[in-house]
Structure 1
Amino acid sequence: MSEFIVPPNHFKFKAKKLLGEVEGKIVESSVAYIESGGGGPRPSHTHSHDHLFIIVEGSASIEIEGEKIKVESDESILVPGRKLHSVWNEADELLKMIGITIKS
């Protein structure tokens, strides 16, 4: 994803695009605080909707089909719900994450 920029006609303002256009629609959203060593589900699961995870603080290990993807603060990942997936905090600090459920 892109780096932080100052949009035109903005002052003392930095923004970073997390994700472009997403087909479907937002079903719900939530904020999660995941302690070190926490996460889930175990075992990984699937479902009909997708997740957009935005990492606010800390880092997340997102497991998709057995592959671990590390996502850091100010980054996001779109997780296809039809693929086996789970979310874990393998760091020593608290993970703060926003989850947006997207109807696919």
Structure 2
Amino acid sequence: MSEFMTPPNHVNFKAKKLFGEMGKILDGAIAYIDVNGGGPTELHTHAHSHLFIVTQGEAKIQLDTEEVIVKKDESFLVDGQVPHAVWNHSEEETVMIGISVK
């Protein structure tokens, strides 16, 4: 979405905007995904969307027939009505924050 920057009047501080306004937040969670881990094992859909933010490692998001790789310090919004699943895509544990939005 953007690169790291130092805001005005800050020292030794780097920030990166991960997302802007996108609706009503329903809930948020943090996930620790082991190597070769993820799920669900079959693609699924639901009424709400997911904003995924990777804080460590790398995630592979399967969207119907497309794959999206989300790296550390990146985010991706998954439309809940598109069949999807999320998997670890690195040789280390992947840590990801998931925010459900309407």
Assess same fold via TM > 0.5: yes
**Alpha-carbon displacement from aligned partner over 1:30-66 (angstroms, at most 9, x marks no partner):** 1000001010112100000000000000000001122
Please state how far the C-alpha of 1:18 moved relative to its aligned partner: 0.8
Equivalent positions of 1:1-104 (< 5 A) are 1-22=1-22, 24-103=23-102
Residues 19, 75 of structure 2: 8 Å contact kept: yes
Please state how far the C-alpha of 1:82 moved relative to its aligned partner: 0.4
Tell me, in whole angstroms, the C-alpha distance in 1 between the residues paired with 2:27 and 2:82: 20
Residues 58, 88 of structure 2: 8 Å contact kept: yes
Residues 51, 77 of structure 2: 8 Å contact kept: yes
Q: Residue type matched to 2:69 in 1?
A: K
TM-score when scaled to structure 2? 0.96
| Structure 1: gaps (5+ residues) | none
Q: What's the RMSD between the two structures over aligned residues?
A: 0.8
Please state how far the C-alpha of 1:11 moved relative to its aligned partner: 1.2
Q: Residue type matched to 1:77 in 2?
A: F
TM-score when scaled to structure 1? 0.94
State how many pairs are aligned: 102
Tell me, in whole angstroms, the C-alpha distance in 2 between the residues paired with 1:91 and 1:4: 23
| Structure 2: gaps (5+ residues) | none
Please state how far the C-alpha of 1:8 moved relative to its aligned partner: 1.1
